A and B are shown apart, each in its own frame.
Chain A
Amino acid sequence: MIRMEMKLAGLLLLALAVPSFAQEAMPQEASGDPVLHAMLAEMQRSKNQLKLEGVAAPYYIDYRITDTDRYWYEAAYGAPRGELRTRARFLRVVVRIGNYKQDSFYQGGQGMVEIVASDDDELAIRRKLWLATDQAYKSAAEALTEKNAALKQLTIENPTDDFAHAEPVRLIRPLVKLDPGIGSWAPLLREVTAFYKKDPQIETIQSSLSFEATNRYFVNSEGTIVRTGASAYLIVAGASTQAPDGMRLERSTEAVQGEFKNLPRPNEFQKQAEAVVATLAELRAAPVVDEEYRGPVLFEPYAATNIFASLIGENVLGKKPALGQPVRVQGAFATSYLSKVLPDFLSVTDDPTIPSWQGEPLLGQYDVDDEGVRPAKVTLVDKGKLVAYDLGRVPIRDFPASNGHGRAPYPVNPPGPGLGNLILQSSEPVPAEALKTKLIELCRQRDLAFCYVVKAVGPRNSPRLLYKLFTSDAHEQLVRGATFGDLDTRTMRNDIVAAGDKVRVDNLPAAIPHSIVAPALLFDELEVKRAAQNKDKLPEYPPPQLSD
């Protein structure tokens, strides 16, 4: 019933939108913007005239142009290694045939991609739109036939619509540009990577920056006209070394901001990078972890954001399963709706409407998503229970509408559910010192001489900085070569016993700019064991002597 009403409302909206669109020669939003002008002109032509005999006319068309201006620079071993400035406009055209219930968005019918003029040349842009729309329409016709054939082979238990209705949005934001000061970081990157001269056992050391200003244009046949802009400034530094036994050790650090002026001062970043790289020497000297440990483990905020992102963040995306699969969504929470996924004192929200959290800028803020829908703050996990998903315009069971989280990972990719500002909050925050005391207490209760504190994790949630914390005198000892035996969604649900009061804001620019916010997390039971990784050989011969 609900769905029926929604659909009627949508049809009404559409009916209203069409005449208003046709009457206006060109909506005022487009004035002075040749890109929008070209998009609206071709949209109007396609809406009114695009039709092949024997094939239904499109019921929906959208144009998305992503204009990126990117500056990249890389230094290694104290010298420049590469530099790049590139500007490109990517076009993605989606044409849907059928109706909201069942349409052609399937295989080859999922849109066409083109590179369009980076000059503001309306005719050149229109020609690319024209051809891409034509091809998208023809591909949609073929896809619809294929899809109908595929559907005949399947029993669909819980049918959901293919495409959600959404209200038209009109929003024009100023265009963004790369800051003129972007070249100023190059000398610093060289200096940061010259650190190998202080620690000759460093095998690789590099630092790169990627500064990007992206203007997004989105127009659809329902009347949405949007232009928004966002920037991301990323600086990364990383190094690797080998322990005497050959174990490969890596560390990296980064600074990410949406605005150039919010980047740390160069000397601050240098300090930060050198502090991180300097830990490689400590790691080389650190003992290898004991064979097996089962007991309390504390993840400091820096490490907690990573495991929160991968174990919760990736599973709260409402991705529709493949045709014919009976589950609600793809991923580990496929059947967890309204079930417990975290302890009662933890809740998770995704709120792309806020620009900062506890004074720290967030990268995951946006006004309109990549499907032209305004984002909503979504409570995903309420007191430990999974109550919603991040959704784009592809409905899943019980969720017929988008909540404005349809985001495209790259300009050429189709949008899908994506994270904005994912925030983990505790109803019982514990100050850092108290958390540590609690950790030691838990260990003592179990007669453990030490427990573990994780300060940084790397890819696949492998610990990069892991410390033994001794219960006797609370001193810490760095260890290396560990892995977590059973860190998964089940441990997240059952074994977290406390969370800290201070959070880390992790801003992640690629592939979708988003932010992860989490406090420290205390597990009362986790397996820490020796990693089964092969140890590399040490270099066959020593590095070259430094010369002046």
Chain B
Amino acid sequence: MINLRAQHSVLLVFGLLLITLTLSAHAADKKPNDVLLSTMQAELDRATAELGKLNPAPYFLSYQVQDETIAAAAGGDGALLSSLRTRRRAVDVITHIGTPALDNTHENSRPSAIHAGSLATEDDRNAIARELWRLTYQGYRNAAKAYLNVKTQTAVNAKEEDTSDDFSQEKPQVHLDYTAPAPLPNQLQLESLARKYSARFRSYPFVYLSAVLISVQNSQTHQINTEGTRLVYPGQFVHLAIQAQTRADDGMDLMRVETFQADSLGNLPGEAEILSKIDKMAADLKALRSAAVAEPFDGPALLSGRSAAVFFHEVLGHRLEGQRQRGEGEGRTFAKKIGAKVLPDFLTVSDNPTLRKLNTIDLSGGYEYDDEGVPAQAVDLIKNGVLTNYLMARMPIEGFLHSNGHGRSQSGMIPVGRQGNLIVTSSHSVSDRELRQRFIEEIKKKSKPYGLYFEDIEGGFTLTQSQLPQAFQVLPVMVWKVFADGRPDELVRGVDIVGTPLTAMNGILMTGDKAAVFDGICGAESGAVPVAAVAPAMLFSEIEVQKRGHSLNRPPILPPPDATVSSGGKGGQQ
């Protein structure tokens, strides 16, 4: 997912930009005369009455409209690659036919519930009503067809293991918040940031490829359903992603990615901090190019807080999503494990989307309502090492009949259980200094010459791309050998974690006492959603790694263009 070849990654970044770009005024600060809401309600009422006469009739309908304005700019090598401003109103019409116990969304036919489109970007009642009508009857047809198939399949197939309902009953929510998000920044300001940050890489000619993508997204969500939910709320999300890539002499591509999230441009880290992060990325890449290639290893490991956060998000968090405990196609790692010990008893894992900040750091996985209109809730997933809950959307699983406000998706996709702010806490924590001490003791105890310190791990949620694999992979990028005999730490590259990472989690011995935050965008089957993961540093008794496979393509034959003049056009590698 992020281990892409250089030329593709930039295209993907650009592709993301091109999806929807429009110039227009941003969403108006709407007050109670909400034409959009009243038109949605009128059409929903009409659909309920009219489709209710049919057989099969829908028992649930919802409309969710996301009025989004996006401003974004992408830079590379100090120049602008692309710049855009867009406005659109994306609408998702959700239809459930049958009964909550068995409906059109059963098993693999979950997507049959959604029919997506675009609405007029102006409050034109006729245009909005007309489009909603069309999407509703078309959505009904898809759902009705799927429902017939579901009924046949259920009659033909053997009884499933989990016989839970297909759709949960939830209390209606009414909340109308017309607060307008801060106006979008000037486009020139974004462009100049993209240029400025990407220009920093000009000082590092060995960074072959770099890209900076900055985007600001303002939204106003309208959601109503036939249960009586009526929600209007604003959102603003700022995302800065910086990617840099080089290649070692043996052909191994080396990449560093930094992402920053905030609720407004002003709340992003300051310029000095970002530039110093870029310098660090370049310094890391330079060090990685000359670092030794990792050898197979099995022994103690120390994960920094940031690495542990990514590790928990990818390895644990995704496997606690409710829908993964049900369905023949799922791994169901944690199905039926409620009450069982799955982690050391000093660890507690929760997901709390109601938090917007941890101390002073923004948490990007916060929200008030999920994409099914259910209020966000703090959920203890693992309490003192014992599994207690899952990340639930409105698809029930055995023993968990309700959503806990984690049904999330991007527009056009059907929500599933997803993480918000995943928070790992520990009751067995020591200072950083002591943790390192205990790490070295553990190395000696295991009679190993060294252990591995994972300074940074990249996962599937550092950058999001359009096609996302179902496997939630972790990719260690900054890994150091820490020697038992006190030699200085040594950077290695090409580390690949093998074995079952979940098993490794049971060997966590203790943690640090400071929580680190990783903010990012997470991609999965319901699309890209902003998330955060929070964890302290962790000492693992054992992690197994191997050498990562890589291309054998050499570094560029000619020196970079800017170096040509001074090197007198000499070829060769630098």
Q: Which residues of A contact B (CB under 8 A)?
A: 41-42, 45-46, 48-52, 76-88, 112-119, 121, 123-132, 134-135, 137-138, 196-197, 203-204, 537, 539-544, 546-547
Contacts and interface: CB of A to CB of B under 8 A. Distances in A.
17 contacts: A49-B557, A51-B557, A79-B124, A80-B122, A81-B119, A114-B7, A114-B10, A118-B82, A124-B76, A126-B561, A127-B561, A134-B556, A138-B553, A203-B134, A539-B137, A541-B51, A544-B133
Grouping DSSP codes into helix (H, G, I), strand (E, B) and loop, the A interface class, with mixed when no group exceeds half, is: mixed
Contacts of B20: 82, 84
Contact of B22 (A45, A84, A114, A134): A84
Given A80-B120, A130-B558, 14 more contacts: A41-B561, A49-B569, A50-B557, A82-B88, A115-B10, A126-B562, A127-B77, A131-B7, A131-B208, A204-B134, A540-B50, A541-B51, A542-B50, A544-B42
Nearest to A539: B137
Given A77-B130, A203-B134, A119 B79 contact: yes
Nearest to B119: A81
Contacts of B124: 77-79
Contacts of B562: 123, 126-127
A196 B130 contact: yes
Nearest to B561: A126
B43 interface: yes
Contacts, number: 176
A82 B80 CA distance: 24
Contact of B130 (A46, A112, A131, A544): A544
Nearest to A72: B22
Given A77-B130, A82-B88, A113-B11, A124 B571 contact: no
A233 to B, nearest CB: 18
A51 B573 CA distance: 12
A49 B86 contact: no
B51 A112 contact: no
A115 B51 contact: no
B155 interface: no
B137 A540 contact: yes
B125 A87 contact: no
B158 interface: no
A117 B119 contact: no
B539 to A, nearest CB: 41
Interface string B493-513: 000000000000000000000
B46 interface: yes
A117 B285 CA distance: 23
A45 B561 contact: yes
B560 to A, nearest CB: 6
B83 A124 contact: no
Nearest to A73: B22
B275 interface: no
Q: Which 10 A/B pairs are nearest by Cβ-Cβ distance?
A: A117-B79, A541-B50, A79-B120, A124-B79, A121-B79, A77-B127, A79-B127, A124-B77, A79-B124, A544-B129
Nearest to A89: B81
Contact of B51 (A86, A204, A540, A547): A540
Q: Which of B76, B126, B553 has the most CB of A within 10 A?
A: B126
Contacts of A81: 88, 118-121
B43 A86 contact: no
B51 A84 contact: no
B79 A86 contact: no
Nearest to A48: B569
Interface string B32-59: 0000000000110011001100100000
A117 B77 contact: yes
Given A123-B561, A124-B78, A126-B561, A115 B24 contact: no
Interface in B83-132: 83-88, 118-122, 124-132
Nearest to B559: A130
Contact of B7 (A52, A127, A135, A203): A135
A543 B85 CA distance: 33
Given A87-B83, A121-B78, A546-B126, A77 B558 contact: no
B23 interface: yes
A366 B18 CA distance: 28
B297 interface: no
B294 interface: no
A350 B140 CA distance: 50
Contact of B86 (A84, A539, A540): A84
B295 to A, nearest CB: 28
Contacts of A196: 130
Contacts of B466: none
B209 interface: yes
Given A121-B78, A204-B134, A84 B21 contact: yes
A41 B562 CA distance: 11
Given A45-B561, A84-B22, A131 B81 contact: no
Interface in B203-227: 208-209
Contacts of A547: 125-126, 129
B237 interface: no
B141 to A, nearest CB: 8
B50 A76 contact: no
A543 B130 contact: yes
A134 B558 CA distance: 8
Contacts of B133: 539, 541, 543-544
A456 to B, nearest CB: 25
A109 to B, nearest CB: 14
Contacts of B134: 203-204, 539
Q: Which of A45, A51, A130 has the most CB of B within 10 A?
A: A130
B484 interface: no
B163 interface: no
B557 A78 contact: no
Contacts of B18: 86
A539 B553 CA distance: 58
A414 B122 CA distance: 41
B6 interface: yes
A81 B561 CA distance: 44
Nearest to B210: A127
B130 A45 contact: no
B126 A128 contact: no
Nearest to B51: A540
Contacts of B564: 45
A127 B560 contact: yes
A124 B79 CA distance: 6
A240 to B, nearest CB: 10
B178 interface: no
A52 B557 contact: yes
B14 interface: yes
B237 to A, nearest CB: 21
